[in-house]
């Protein structure tokens, strides 16, 4: 797979997606969002890939925001369409992917960059990472899900403060807030994400896909998450992965899941 703005590598059933616009601090533009949608779509269908890790090129930024020059002259109608389309093809799409997506936050994650990291299933940050939603300083609000996902992760009060002050928090505070799962030196970021991907890859990909859906439905006010869990739990019993997992446990051996 070759793209203009992103790089894709595969290693040990893990795919690494690197947003590669270092001169723009990996800022998101329409073309990059479209390319990301395409590559996530392909990797979800790729049976050789069990986990996806998303990061930014260089040592300064994961994604330092959206490309403001691209929408500075937009009308109300165009602004609404921009947010709706972006959420549909990338941010909601990533959140609802059946394969786990880890954000390796290797520097600034601001605006659309933090929104993209929050759409991933969880986040690991390097010590130099800084995160924030500065949109109100431009006279606009987060439009790619930031007002929805940030409160779920850090709580309403902290989200209100972060969004209204337009300020940044460092990696340690992000860890304290529960916005990221781990903070490591930058040189250790790749290794930790790979280790986590390896642990995930040992488990049933079919069950993980069901788990992602059930957890996401916990935050969907239009859906009964408990009902989703019950339905998904039942469906697991009809899978080859369940038969292999339970057999392996009873036979005291390591499971070799057919779903891989």
- Is 244 one of the catalytic residues? no
Nearest to 186 by CA among 59, 54, 41: 59
- Is 88 one of the catalytic residues? no
Instruction: Encode burial over 64-74: b for 16+ CB neighbours within 10 A, e otherwise.
Output: bbbbeeebeee
The residue annotated as part of the active site, out of 59, 76, 127, 135, is: 135
- The Cβ of residue 109 has, within 10 Å, a number of other Cβ atoms equal to 33
Q: Across-strand partners of 131? A: 109, 169
The residue annotated as part of the active site, out of 59, 76, 115, 251, is: 115
Tokens of 97: 């992917």
| Alpha helices (runs of H) in the chain, residue ranges in sequence order | 30-45, 76-86, 92-95, 112-119, 146-154, 156-165, 171-177, 189-201, 205-218, 225-236, 240-250
What strands lie across the sheet with 122-126, from one edge to the other?
6-11, 14-19, 51-56, 101-105, 122-126, 182-184
Nearest to 140 by CA among 197, 204, 65: 65
Residues near 124 by beta carbon (within 8 Å), at least 6 away in sequence:
102, 103, 104, 105, 180, 181, 182, 183, 184, 189, 192, 193, 196
Q: Which residue has the tokens 């390097």?
A: 126
Tokens of 247: 């057999």
Hey, which residues are catalytic here? 115, 135
């Amino acid at each position: 797979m070759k793209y203009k703005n992103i790089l894709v590598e595969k290693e040990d059933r893990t795919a690494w997606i690197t947003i590669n616009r270092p001169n723009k601090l990996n800022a998101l533009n329409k073309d990059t969002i479209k390319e990301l949608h395409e590559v996530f779509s392909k990797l979800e269908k790729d049976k050789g890939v069990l986990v996806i890790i998303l990061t930014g090129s260089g040592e300064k930024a994961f994604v330092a925001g959206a490309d403001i020059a691209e929408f500075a002259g937009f009308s109300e109608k165009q602004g609404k369409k921009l947010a709706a389309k972006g959420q549909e093809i990338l941010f909601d799409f990533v959140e609802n992917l059946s394969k786990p997506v880890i954000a390796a936050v290797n520097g600034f994650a601001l605006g659309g960059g933090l929104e993209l990291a929050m759409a991933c299933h969880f986040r690991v940050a390097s010590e130099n990472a800084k995160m924030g939603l500065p949109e109100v300083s431009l006279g606009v609000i987060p439009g790619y899900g930031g007002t929805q996902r940030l409160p779920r992760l850090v709580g309403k009060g902290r989200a209100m403060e972060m969004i209204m002050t337009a300020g940044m928090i460092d990696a340690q505070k992000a860890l304290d807030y529960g916005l990221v799962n781990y903070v490591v030196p930058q040189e250790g970021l790749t290794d930790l994400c790979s280790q986590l991907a390896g642990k995930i890859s040992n488990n049933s990909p079919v069950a993980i896909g069901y788990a992602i859906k059930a957890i996401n439905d916990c935050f969907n006010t239009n859906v009964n998450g408990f009902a989703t869990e019950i339905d998904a739990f039942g469906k697991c019993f009809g899978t080859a992965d369940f038969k292999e997992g339970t057999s392996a446990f009873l036979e005291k051996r390591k499971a070799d899941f057919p779903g891989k």
